[in-house]
């Protein structure tokens, strides 16, 4: 992805400081609520599902939420990307503990053993088949990460990807809040321009879990651009929010076949994971 000059950031932006980790008590409550309501927990059999897992195992409190099983892995290395069959295992953990040794209760770890780095695991999406994928952009910092996505530390809000036929342009717009009571908070709206029209892809409120510091720049928002279903239209895997030291991961998958002029580009599948403070 080529880079251009940074878009002005909102008032109060602090480039150097990263936000503090969530307190254990608050984070545990947040995780339980978010995970219970997440796409994995709510997805019925056959529904589109997007999951992330690691060799070390992502720790999650509570009961398993349906992540285990067979998937098509979006696997990438220096030779390119492909959809490859893979299996996610869920292993019980009798007690997860924070950095101070406090018992946070029983939980489990979501494990993946795969010979290549895996950006995402997919199932229930029609039209996907094993094999090499046309890939026009890959966040290569991910290939060097062993446990979570690596942040570039840059906050640029404009970029482009060379897609056959026409470049795909990415632009972040800061929408200011209104002055009337009940106005929406300040937010970042990501917009993609391709095929002769612009589409809103993500809208992230600055008042989220980690505020403005939890909103990645273009280099970290856009993880992968390619053609998952091989229909000739670009598909996107994006990360709208992040947390300090890999403590939060949100992924959205947007398929080109779902993109329409004049409408927001809704994700075909989403994933959310948050870790209480100190879990490892």
Asked whether the beta carbons of 149 and 220 are under 8 A apart, the reply is: yes
- Cβ(59)–Cβ(52) under 8 Å? no
- How many of the other CB atoms lie within 10 Å of CB of 172? 23
User: pTM here?
Assistant: 0.79
CB contact set of 213 (below 8 Å; sequence gap of 6+)? 14, 17, 18, 19, 244
| 270 against 280, higher pLDDT | 270
Q: Which pLDDT belongs to residue 3? A: 45
Q: Is residue 154 part of a domain?
A: yes
Lowest mean pLDDT among 66-70, 197-201, 233-237: 66-70
Structural domain contains residue 83: yes
Please tell me the distance from the alpha carbon of residue 155 to that of residue 88, in angstroms, as a whole number: 33
pLDDT at 279 over 70: no
Mean per-residue pLDDT, 245-270:
91
The answer to whether 74 touches 121, Cβ cutoff 8 Å, is yes
Higher pLDDT, 252 or 187: 252
Q: Which domain holds residue 105?
A: 2-274
Among the ranges given (11-20, 157-166, 234-243, 252-261), the one the predictor scored with the smallest mean pLDDT: 11-20
- What is the count of structural domains for the chain? 1
Q: In this structure, is residue 210 part of a structural domain? A: yes
- Domain membership of residue 77 (yes or no) is yes
Nearest-angstrom CA–CA distance, 172 and 189 = 6
In a domain, 143, yes or no: yes
* Backbone CA torsion sign across 40, 42, 46, 49: negative
- pLDDT digit string (tens) for 108-145? 889 999 999 999 999 999 999 999 999 999 988 877 76
Above pLDDT 70, what percent of the chain? 69
Residue 170: pLDDT band (50, 70, 90) is: very high
pLDDT tens figures, 65-116: 688 999 999 999 989 999 999 999 999 888 787 667 778 788 888 999 999 9
Mean pLDDT calculated for residue range 3-10: 40
Does residue 280 form part of some domain? no
Q: What is the mean pLDDT of residues 221-239?
A: 95
Which tokens is 254 given? Answer: 């947007």
Residue 46: predicted pLDDT: 59
Q: Among 14-23, 107-116, 228-237, 245-254, name the most confident range.
A: 228-237
pLDDT bucket at 183, cuts 50 / 70 / 90: low
pLDDT score recorded for residue 186 = 79
Is residue 279 assigned to a domain?
A: no
Q: Output the pLDDT for position 36.
A: 34
Could you write out the three-class secondary structure of 133-201? ECEEEECCCHHHCCCCCCCCCCCCCEEEECCCCCCEEEEEEEECCCCCCCCCCCEEEEEEEECCEEEEE
Bridge partners (DSSP) of residue 225 are 137, 236
Residue 41, pLDDT above cutoff 60:
no
- Bridge partners of residue 185, in order along the sequence: none
Of 245 and 57, which is predicted with more confidence? 57
Q: How far apart are the first and last CA of the chain?
A: 32
226 in any annotated domain? yes
Q: For residue 261, how many other CB atoms are within 10 A of its CB?
A: 9
């Amino acid at each position: 992805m080529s880079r251009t000059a940074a878009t002005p950031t909102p008032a109060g932006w602090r480039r150097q400081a990263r936000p503090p980790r969530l307190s254990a008590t608050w984070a545990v409550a947040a995780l339980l609520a978010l995970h219970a309501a997440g796409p994995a927990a709510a997805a019925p059999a056959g529904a589109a599902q997007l999951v992330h897992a690691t060799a070390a195992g992502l720790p999650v409190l509570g009961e398993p939420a349906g992540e285990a099983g067979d998937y098509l892995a979006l696997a990438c290395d220096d030779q390119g990307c492909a959809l490859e069959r893979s299996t996610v295992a869920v292993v019980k953990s009798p007690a997860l503990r924070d950095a101070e040794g406090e018992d946070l209760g029983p939980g489990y770890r979501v494990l993946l053993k795969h010979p290549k780095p895996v950006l995402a695991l997919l199932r229930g999406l029609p039209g996907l088949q094993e094999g090499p994928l046309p890939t026009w952009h890959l966040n290569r910092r991910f290939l060097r990460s062993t446990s979570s996505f690596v942040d570039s530390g840059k906050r640029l809000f404009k970029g482009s990807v060379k897609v056959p036929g026409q470049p795909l342009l990415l632009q972040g717009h800061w929408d200011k809040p209104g002055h009337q009571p009940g106005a929406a908070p300040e937010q970042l709206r990501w917009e993609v321009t391709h095929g002769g029209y612009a589409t809103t892809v993500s809208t992230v409120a600055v008042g989220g879990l980690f505020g403005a510091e939890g909103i990645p720049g273009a280099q970290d928002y856009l993880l992968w651009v390619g053609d998952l279903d091989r229909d000739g239209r670009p598909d996107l895997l994006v990360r709208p929010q992040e947390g300090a030291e890999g403590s939060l991961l949100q992924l959205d998958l947007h398929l080109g076949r779902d993109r329409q002029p004049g409408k927001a580009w809704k994700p075909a599948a989403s994933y959310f994971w948050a870790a209480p403070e100190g879990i490892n």
